[in-house]
Chains A and B, each alone.
Chain A
Amino acid sequence: MIRITDIYKSYQIGKNTLPVLKGIDFNVDKGEMVSIMGSSGSGKSTLLNIIGILDEADRGTYNLDGIEVKNLNEKIAAKYRNQFLGFIFQSFNLINYKTALDNVALPLYYQGVSRKKREEKALFYLDKVGLSNWAKHVPSELSGGQKQRVAIARALASDPKVLLADEPTGALDTKTSYGVMELLQQINDEGKTVIIVTHEPDIAAMTKRNVELKDGLIISDKIIEPVRATLYV
């Protein structure tokens, strides 16, 4: 699904060049649930952004489900993000003046799906995350966990190939975090590829594969037996 070969990325900070990724090889197959761990500054978020076509590597190749991601213009990048990728953020990033339903429907709007179909689909995914009763509520009326569930529904709405979650539980308490992880595990069980960036070991333990980054390099990559979040909820 994801083939990343020898990727380099550095940021320009003033006159200094700060290397963030120093030659990463990273592959993810369909149906995997991968956690990327690492302290801050290790380059884990940058890697996720490159996978998410929100950022571009300086060097190296990135192949997403057979498509070469390189020198894309913004229009095509937007199209790929919309069709292939679903994003989940630490701070949820819902649009605060839109209802849960409209938030979930937004990726479909950018796909040009008709209004009726959009709402149908959005409602389906809201139901999947257990929030169909909250469809008409705006984010400020929802709890943190609910917001993240709406965000997950939104990420799923366009039926992407890969779900990318950047610290999805970073702003949530433990119990709520496990609830969110339960949902993500469930989604993965249905065959969706999930990549999670986290620095919480208990969250990482709930994935099937742990990748650890340090100073822009992968220092460990191991398959583990995931802890089912259901046990804690």
Chain B
Amino acid sequence: MNSLFHRDLWVEILSSLKSNGARTFVTAFGVFWGIFIMVLLLSAASGFETGIKSKFKGIATNSIFIWTQKTSLEYKGMPRNRWYHFDIQDAQAIKDNIKGLRIVSPQNNFTTEIKHITKEGSFKVEGNAPEFLGQKALKLTQGRFINQKDIDQKRKIAIIGWGLIDELYEKGEDVIGSFIKIKGVNFKVVGVFKDTSINGQKNIRAQQNVHIPFNTFSQVFNFGDRVNYFFITADDDQSATELKNKIITLLQTRHKINPKDKRAIGNFDLNEQFEKFNMLFATLKIVSFFVGIMILISGVIGISNIMLIVIKERTKEIGIRRALGATPMVIKKQIILESVFLTILSGMAGVSFASLILFFVNLKIDSMDPVDLMILNPIINLPTLFTIFIILVFFGLLAGLIPANKAVKMKPINAIRTE
């Protein structure tokens, strides 16, 4: 009798809901609609997030890139408009002085002639550290990437983009182990990569780069100590954006740059961009939830309203039940459970219908090229569903409370007398 899941109680609830089938349906529709919209909005927000984030996939987003530009202010006897260079000692200095960085990898690059047997073309060559593989969305399709031995021994090896194979090789020719000439110098190809970032997939040039060991690049192409770029990734528990100023200050000191000179050190803060996206998504989620809850509330008010009318119409029935021995608790429990049940049922129907629509949307999306899409895999996840469920129970309780209290407020004798 006291159990919430007693069969008899539910038989009672179902039969009283069934006795007002059409009205039950119309009432339920408000909540159904609220949840339906909420799930669609949340899924769209989540799909948008997945879509945008997929464009960053494989990239270490907690990163900044810095490079040298002309100075714009005089400092310590140095003129303005001065060209300067980073050097390889900067890498060590950054690592030593600034805590919380995971990778500091230097890079030099240029575009030059690359030749294999008879075929040739002009492509970009990058001198990179082994750690660079973890910073960019590069996937090795054959062979290996640069390792520490390559760096230490200044080996002449190259990892080429898959887009180069068509340009430089005959069909069916072995790529690994072959040699290519970069600016007239022979390099052995030890790996082939694919740029899996969205930019890389869209841009064939990005698939035609050549990576060679940083030290080899410096020596063979006479760069000496010079470094043009640093790719710096912070530890996961650190923010690259927060460490950026420390890094820049350090480099300013090391290269006699005016601390007020904003232009001398060029930088791109990927982390900041990414954080902006995260903020955007968080905002989107909150807005979706808010709008959903607002619609849901109007649905719940509908339920509460109709329950009130139902109570009024059933005043006599409730009076009879009480004359037959139903305690106020039993009556209240039944009304509240009816309300909760109706809310959950219609809410879950809303979730199901929204899921059905999402299923078809996903089918459509899957058949399209993900590169062009801003939305990927719009779904509602289990924790969100659970939250929605809790909200439904809560609102159902709330919607049933007022009618339930009203139902038992009238004396049974007066209730029986109403016609």
Contacts of A109 in B (CB 8 A): 8, 12
B4 at the interface (CB under 8 A from A): no
Contacts of B320 in A (CB 8 A): 93, 95
- What sequence of 0s and 1s flags, for each residue 73-97 of chain A, a beta carbon within 8 Å of any chain B beta carbon? 0110011011100010100010111
Contact of B19 among A81, A97, A106 (CB under 8 A): A97
A55 to B412, CA, bound (A): 8
How far is the CB of A80 from the nearest CB of chain B, in Å?
A: 9
Q: Are B325 and A75 in contact (CB under 8 A)?
A: no
Q: Are B18 and A97 in contact (CB under 8 A)?
A: yes
Stretch of A20-28, A110-118, A123-131, A223-231 with 4 or more beta carbons under 8 angstroms from chain B: A110-118
Number of A interface residues at 8 Å Cβ cutoff, please give it: 28
A11 to B316, CA, bound (A): 21
Closest Cβ neighbor of B419 among chain A residues: A91
Stretch of B31-39, B121-129, B326-334 with 4 or more beta carbons under 8 angstroms from chain A: B326-334
> Chain B contact residues (Cβ within 8 angstroms of A): what range?
20 to 34
Closest Cβ neighbor of B319 among chain A residues: A93
A36 to B413, CA, bound (A): 19
Q: Are A87 and B413 in contact (CB under 8 A)?
A: no
A52 at the interface (CB under 8 A from B): yes
Contacts of B329 in A (CB 8 A): 75
Contacts of B88 in A (CB 8 A): none
Contacts of A81 in B (CB 8 A): 322-325
B241 at the interface (CB under 8 A from A): no
Contact of B416 among A54, A107, A110 (CB under 8 A): A54
B149 at the interface (CB under 8 A from A): no
A189 to B408, CA, bound (A): 37
Contacts of A111 in B (CB 8 A): 325
B272 at the interface (CB under 8 A from A): no
Q: Are A78 and B18 in contact (CB under 8 A)?
A: no
A78 to B323, CA, bound (A): 7
A52 to B412, CA, bound (A): 11
Contacts of B324 in A (CB 8 A): 81-82, 87, 106-107, 110, 154
CB under 8 Å from chain A, chain B span 181-240: none
- What sequence of 0s and 1s flags, for each residue 167-189 of chain A, a beta carbon within 8 Å of any chain B beta carbon? 00000000000000000000000
Q: Are B416 and A93 in contact (CB under 8 A)?
A: yes
B312 at the interface (CB under 8 A from A): no
Decide: A74 near B18, CB < 8 A? Known: A54-B412, A54-B416.
no
Q: Are B413 and A115 in contact (CB under 8 A)?
A: no
A11 to B203, CA, bound (A): 90
Closest Cβ neighbor of B7 among chain A residues: A115
How far is the CB of A150 from the nearest CB of chain B, in Å?
A: 13
CB under 8 Å from chain B, chain A span 36-81: 49, 52, 54-55, 74-75, 78-79, 81
B150 at the interface (CB under 8 A from A): no
A35 at the interface (CB under 8 A from B): no
Contacts of A199 in B (CB 8 A): none
B15 at the interface (CB under 8 A from A): yes
Closest Cβ neighbor of A97 among chain B residues: B19
A111 to B326, CA, bound (A): 9
Task: Report the 4 A-B pairs with minimum CB-CB distance, sorted nearest first.
Answer: A82-B325, A97-B19, A112-B1, A54-B413
Query: What are some 19 contacts across the A-B interface (CB < 8 A)?
Result: A54-B323, A54-B413, A55-B411, A74-B322, A74-B328, A75-B327, A78-B322, A78-B325, A78-B326, A81-B322, A81-B325, A83-B325, A87-B323, A87-B324, A93-B323, A107-B324, A109-B8, A110-B321, A110-B327
